[in-house]
Amino acid sequence: MGNIIVLGAQWGDEGKGKVVDLFSEKFSIVARYQGGHNAGHTVFIGEKKFVLKLIPSGILRPGIQAVIGNGVVVDPTALLDEIETLERAGIDVRKQLAISNRAHVIFPFHRIVEKMSEGREDRVPIGTTSRGIGPCYEDKTGRRGIRIADLYEPEAFCALYSSLAEDKQLLAQTFDIQETIDYEKIRDQYLKLAERIRPMVCDTAQLLNDAMRAGKRVLFEGAQGSMLDVDHGTYPFVTSSSATAGGACTGAGVPPTAIHGVIGVSKAYTTRVGSGPFPTELDDETGERIRKAGNEYGAVTGRPRRCGWFDVPLLRYTAMINGFTSLVITKLDVLDEFDEVRVCTEYRNTKTMPATFRALEAVEPVYETLPGWKSETRGLTRHQDLPQRARDYLKFLSERTGVEIGCISTGPERDETILIEGSRLAEVL
Ligand code: GDP
Ligand code: IMO
Ligand code: MG
């Protein structure tokens, strides 16, 4: 019992949305702590499909308080779009959602800055989601960003906005970018958008700490994945925020002592969207088979995800950085048809995670091959019903990564899940 973080153990899209939605039943509050609408968390409830971007997946359960923490970057237009979509589906968003007054604001010119840096010939493009996420975080750490609270002090906001807009105009001139932006119109629009979200804006760190003191339980929902973390991921092929467990404390304003469990979500194999090193990538028919079986296409951008085998050194590394107390293994069913499954158990001659993407690109993965189970696991809910070879595969992953597997997902829906009785995860839930 207590507060937990649920976060991605790989490069994102591990199935966090499904897992958070499932676990949130036991919590009063679900809080996002980093990222923005670059995230796409898919949740199926019966026939209905939801893709949550900025708003925590917990919003889908009536009565749960959803929090957008200070570490998140907010595009108000995207936020209002998402609110309206959820409201049309009958969710009482305005009653359930709180938005941090300290969260930084994404403006349209952030997307232009992103285009500029992605388009430069002397730089490898990261393959970003083009949502202005990186440039907004740049302004945040550059101490010239604009926060939601600033929108309610119009005079100060206009001064901050003018100076930020001037920077971007200069940049556009220098790099001969032809985009026309009506800066004044955008400024006025943002002041209006701010009024529309005003009733939901508050000091969410205070809200969370007060709630925890009153005995309410909080689930912190990570976005992206540990290997996309700006410090610990495959830099520079990362996102611009702290996607690892530490980000929950800084991005929500809660102390590390308030966290009682860190749950890493990992697929039974590996995927990645965008550019960057990927040691176990399968650039062949097998990769294509996984992509098809797992429907591996981005929830936000629709881009095909790169696919490969499970990578133990990567998981051991993210387990170390995050201190995973348990793992949730998702999409086991995707491997049902394979004659054999392979697992990268080490990188030859390298005991630690290389610091540069060049060194990671050069590692030589060493594989062990396990027999496939060739039998349907989709929708199973009891561990004892899994085929022995699937159980052996999971045991192998747990032993090699050194982390217990507390839960297995056998399909996208809430009830297509096996929770392991007696696990640390079952205890903390
Ligand atoms: P997130 O960003 O980590 O929330 O993951 P995404 O929603 O981007 O991608 C995960 C995809 O896998 C979604 O389409 C989910 O509906 C789906 N999914 C989640 N768990 C399972 C599972 O156990 N089996 C299958 N087949 N699909 C799953
Ligand atoms: P969820 O929360 C997978 C990737 C992008 C790109 C890099 C930087 O759904 O798991 P950004 O727009 O953040 O500057 O892009 O990070 N990326 C994701 N990949 N899942 C995500 O989120 C991602 N969010 C960003 O593809 O390679
Ligand atoms: Mg996703």
pLDDT of residue 174: 84
Q: How far is the CA of 135 from the centre of ligand 2 (A)?
A: 14
Which of the four pLDDT bands, split at 50, 70 and 90, describes residue 216?
Answer: very high
Nearest residue by C-alpha to atom 11 in ligand 1: 15
Ligand nearest to the CA of 271: 2
299 lies in the same domain as 416: yes
Indicate whether 209 and 308 sit together in one domain. no
pLDDT at 1 over 80: no
Residue 13 alpha carbon to ligand 2 centre in Å = 9
CB 103 within 8 A of CB 67: no
Of the candidates 346, 343, 325, the one whose C-alpha atom is nearest the C-alpha of residue 394 is 343
The residue from 148, 163, 196 where one domain ends is 196
Would you state the structure tokens that stand for residue 145, as one six-digit string?
């960003």
pLDDT at 377: 98
Whether 307 and 399 map to the same domain: the answer is yes
pLDDT tens track for 9-36: 999 999 999 999 999 999 999 999 999 9
The mean pLDDT value of the chain amounts to 96
CB of 56 sitting under 6 A from ligand 2: no
- 54-68, 218-232, 297-311: segment of lowest average pLDDT: 297-311
Same domain, 95 and 240: yes
Query: Is 274 close to ligand 2, i.e. is its CB under 6 Å away?
Result: yes
Mean pLDDT of 346-375: 97
Is any atom of ligand 2 closer than 6 Å to the C-beta of 38?
A: yes
Our answer on whether the CB atom of 333 is closer than 6 Å to any ligand 1 atom is: yes
User: Which of ligand 1's atoms lies nearest the C-alpha of 265?
Assistant: 3
From the number of C-beta atoms within 10 Å of its C-beta (0-12, 13-18, 19+), residue 1 rates as exposed
For residue 101, name the pLDDT band (cuts at 50, 70, 90). very high
Written as one letter, the residue type at 341 is V
Say if residue 152's pLDDT is above 80. Answer: yes
Burial class (CB in 10 A: 0-12, 13-18, 19+), 408: buried
Q: Which atom from ligand 2 is nearest to the alpha carbon of 303?
A: 26
Q: Residue 299 — pLDDT band, cuts 50, 70, 90? A: confident
Range with lowest mean pLDDT among 118-127, 228-237, 303-312: 118-127
User: What's the CATH number where 302 sits?
Assistant: 3.90.170.10
Lowest mean pLDDT among 58-72, 119-133, 233-247, 250-264: 119-133
- What domain count does the chain have? 3
Q: What CATH number is given to the structural domain containing 114?
A: 1.10.300.10
Residues of the chain above pLDDT 70, percent = 100
Residue-level pLDDT at 123? 81
- 124 has pLDDT over 90: no
Q: What integer pLDDT is reported at residue 380 of this predicted model?
A: 98
- CATH code at 98? 3.40.440.10
Q: Is 41 a catalytic residue?
A: yes
Burial class (CB in 10 A: 0-12, 13-18, 19+), 107: buried
pLDDT at 83: 98
Alpha-carbon gap, residue 18 to 2, rounded angstroms: 20
Q: Are residues 204 and 307 in the same domain?
A: no
Identify the pLDDT of residue 235: 98
Q: Are residues 314 and 424 in the same domain?
A: yes
Question: Are the C-beta atoms of 135 and 113 separated by less than 8 Å?
Answer: yes
Domain with 24 in it = 4-102+200-258
CA–CA dist 355, 156 (Å, integer): 42
Active-site pick, 21, 37, 41, 104: 41
pLDDT score, position 171: 86
- To test the ligand 1 pocket, which listed residue (269, 330, 378) has its Cβ within 8 A of the most ligand atoms? 330
Within this chain, do residues 208 and 66 fall inside the same structural domain, yes or no?
A: yes
- 243-271 pLDDT, tens digit per residue, is 999 999 999 999 999 999 999 999 999 99
Q: Of the ligands numbered here, which is closest to the C-alpha atom of 39?
A: 2
State the pLDDT at residue 94: 96
Q: What is the pLDDT of residue 135?
A: 97
Domain end residue (candidates: 225, 258, 291): 258
Q: Rounded to whole angstroms, how far apart are CA atoms 200 and 59?
A: 14
The residue with greater pLDDT, 219 or 182, is 219
pLDDT value for 172: 84
Residue 95 and residue 231 share a domain: yes
Same domain, 410 and 280: yes
Q: Mean pLDDT, to the nearest integer, of 177-191?
A: 89
Last residue in a domain, options 152, 173, 196: 196
Q: Same domain for 213 and 224?
A: yes
Residue 300 has pLDDT above 90, yes or no: no
Task: Spell out the residues 6+ positions from residue 180 whose beta carbon is closer than 8 angstroms to its own.
Answer: none
Flag whether pLDDT at 196 surpasses 90.
yes
- The closest-lying atom of ligand 2 relative to the alpha carbon of residue 131 is 12
Q: Looking at residue 375, what is its pLDDT?
A: 97
In which band, very low, low, confident or very high, does the pLDDT at 414 lie, cut at 50, 70 and 90?
Answer: very high
Both 240 and 299 in one domain: the answer is no
**Confidence (pLDDT) at 351:** 92
Question: What pLDDT is recorded for position 180?
Answer: 77
The answer to whether residue 316 scores a pLDDT higher than 80 is yes
Q: Which of 172-181, 279-288, 322-331 comes out lowest in average pLDDT?
A: 172-181
**Same domain for 240 and 369?**
no
Evaluate: CB of 53 within 6 angstroms of ligand 1: no
Regarding the beta carbon of 330 and ligand 1, being less than 6 Å apart is answered yes
| Of 35-49, 78-92, 140-154, 290-304, minimum mean pLDDT range | 290-304
**Atom 27, ligand 2: residue with shortest CA distance:** 274
